[in-house]
């Protein structure tokens, strides 16, 4: 029997490689379509999303109760190649926001292999009720937050009518929610009413629905980075919100995404605004940090320390952009305001991950494919591999090459 030459073997091998590469590309495309379809379903299925309620935007999400107060856990499923699905769910929390507050309040998104476990017992839940009407007994300043170094945002004149709906934790300040403004005033500047004694106190530990929760996320789907699991939280920019996530108290004034780095660590990336930890560390937009956790005496966990804030990676930026798209879709469907997340602009470096192509990398960074190829002459544009480091010129430019004059 005549033995095939090495050249003949290569002739058979080349079509096989083409077939395998084409199959991988088709699988990646199908995966991306499944995720995009799940996110697009938010616009239709989350229309009319009420306070303290949730919206299942994929049939592969599981919840154990109809009322958010009684929910013990919410879980979504990862990408399923067989039925081309990716689990997702949206939650709207009233948190510590007044009833008079316009807009979505706090939105939480679950996607992929993710789960949230409610740590607030239904019997302990206390929500913000209707405000009470009172009057200023003297001229007073209104402040954005109560405290020793407050930020003025307005004025009350003697005999002005004000609506108040809550105390601060120490009982020295009242929250004013008149005329669409959410602010704070020193309590002794207002007429004291007996009914005020029933107003709730806004503290870090106030048990409103899902104020405290634990989250878990699975590992990323290697063949399709867009299908990675995530939990994202968006809060209004003008009213900061306190949450306890995996036993860690944080002060959120932004949009953040979470991922469980491993069982003893919680990854956090800030995409807009800032997050302040209980230790006073501030994590700014475009930065990530890891909370190192340890078992507490109870079943919960507590943070031993936070890592120093580092610039967010390309994958973390892309995760935030996907989450913001989902938040904006549900906001658009309900007539709420939309937000944009910050994205690096200029020349950056990108480390290729498995399953990525030059086109997907250019789309992720809003850069020109032609410029990426020109800036990386040592890289074969038809054969990039995981671990290759690419220079991305003019990232954030919207796919436009630099002009010859620029």
- Residues 225, 353 contacting (CB under 8 angstroms): yes
pLDDT digits (tens, 9 = 90+) for 68-96: 888 889 999 888 888 888 889 999 988 88
Structure confidence at residue 295 (pLDDT): 54
Structure confidence at residue 139 (pLDDT): 96
Res. 223 pLDDT band, cuts 50 70 90? low
Assign a CATH topology to domain 132-199: SH3 type barrels. (2.30.30)
Structure confidence at residue 257 (pLDDT): 95
Token pair in block for residue 129? 């009720």
- ∠ at Cα 399 (398, 402), nearest 5°? 100
For the chain, the average pLDDT equals 81
Q: Which residues pair with 75 in a beta bridge?
A: 62, 115
CA nearest 150: which of 178, 180, 185, 176?
185
Res. 191 pLDDT band, cuts 50 70 90? very high
**Higher pLDDT pick, 382 / 176:** 176
The CA-to-CA distance between both ends of the chain, in Å, stands at 65
pLDDT digits (tens, 9 = 90+) for 254-304: 899 998 877 778 889 999 888 888 777 888 888 899 887 755 444 444 556
- ∠ at Cα 323 (204, 45), nearest 5°? 100
Domain ranges of the chain: 6-124+206-334, 132-199, 346-395
Residues of the chain with pLDDT > 70: what percent? 82
Class at the top of the CATH hierarchy for domain 346-395: alpha beta
Residues 6+ apart with CB under 8 A from 354: 222, 223, 386
Token pair in block for residue 4? 């095939």
Which of 38-47, 57-66, 194-203, 359-368 has the weakest average pLDDT? 57-66
Token pair in block for residue 315? 């994958």
């Amino acid at each position: 029997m005549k033995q095939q030459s090495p050249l003949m073997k290569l002739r058979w091998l080349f079509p096989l490689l083409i077939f395998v590469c084409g199959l991988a590309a088709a699988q990646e495309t199908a995966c991306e379509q499944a995720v995009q379809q799940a996110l697009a379903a938010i616009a239709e299925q989350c229309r009319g999303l009420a306070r303290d309620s949730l919206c299942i935007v994929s049939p592969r999400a599981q919840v154990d109760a109809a009322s958010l107060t009684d929910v013990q856990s919410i879980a979504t499923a990862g990408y399923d190649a067989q039925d081309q699905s990716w689990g997702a769910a949206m939650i709207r929390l009233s948190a510590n926001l007044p009833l008079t507050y316009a807009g979505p309040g706090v939105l939480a998104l679950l996607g992929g292999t993710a789960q949230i476990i409610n740590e607030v017992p239904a019997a302990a839940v206390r929500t913000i009720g209707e405000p009470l009407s009172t009057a200023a007994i003297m001229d007073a300043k209104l402040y954005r937050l109560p405290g020793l170094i407050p930020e003025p945002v307005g004025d009350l004149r003697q005999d002005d009518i004000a609506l108040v709906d809550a105390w601060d934790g120490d009982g020295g300040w009242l929250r004013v929610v008149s005329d669409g403004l959410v602010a704070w005033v020193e309590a002794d500047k207002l007429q004291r009413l007996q009914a005020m004694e029933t107003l709730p106190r806004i503290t870090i530990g106030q048990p409103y629905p899902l104020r405290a929760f634990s989250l878990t996320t699975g590992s990323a789907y290697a063949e399709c980075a867009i299908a990675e699991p995530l939990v994202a939280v968006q809060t209004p920019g003008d009213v900061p919100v306190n949450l306890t996530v995996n036993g860690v108290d944080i002060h959120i004034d932004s949009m953040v995404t979470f991922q469980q780095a491993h069982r003893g660590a919680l990854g956090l990336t800030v995409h807009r605004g800032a997050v302040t930890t209980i230790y006073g560390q501030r994590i700014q937009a475009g930065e990530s940090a890891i909370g190192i956790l340890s078992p507490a005496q109870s079943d919960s966990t507590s943070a031993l320390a936070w890592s120093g804030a580092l610039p967010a990676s390309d994958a973390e930026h892309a995760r935030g952009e996907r989450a913001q798209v989902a938040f904006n879709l549900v906001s658009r469907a309900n007539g709420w305001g939309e937000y944009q997340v910050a994205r690096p602009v200029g020349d950056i470096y990108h480390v290729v991950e498995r399953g990525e192509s030059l086109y997907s990398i250019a789309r992720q960074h809003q850069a020109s494919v032609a410029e990426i190829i020109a800036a990386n002459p040592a890289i074969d544009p038809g054969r990039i591999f995981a671990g290759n480091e690419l220079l991305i010129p003019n990232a954030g430019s919207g796919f436009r090459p630099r002009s010859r004059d620029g």
